[in-house]
Amino acid sequence: LCTHQGCAVKDVSDGTITCPCHNSTFDAATGSPTGGPATQPLPAREITVEGDSIRLA
């Protein structure tokens, strides 16, 4: 969930996670905010990668 106002972040592209609500962007590797109104990082989550799919562990 976005650290700005809690929307679900959606797109992951070129190492950037984007929030659709107000277009905050986050570094996919670290969770640090890189743009938009969010100032706090996304929390780390464990994932698994199966082919082209990413799932929460």
Asked if 33 and 41 touch (Cβ cutoff 8 Å), the reply is yes
19 binds ligand FES (CB under 6 A): yes
Choosing from 7, 16, 27, 34, the residue that interacts with ligand FES (CB under 6 A) is 7
40 binds ligand FES (CB under 6 A): no
Tell me how far CA of residue 26 lies from CA of 1, 10, 35, 47, in angstroms: 11, 11, 7, 17
25 binds ligand FES (CB under 6 A): no
Give the residues lining the site for ligand FES (CB under 6 A): 2, 4-5, 7, 19, 21-22, 24, 36-38
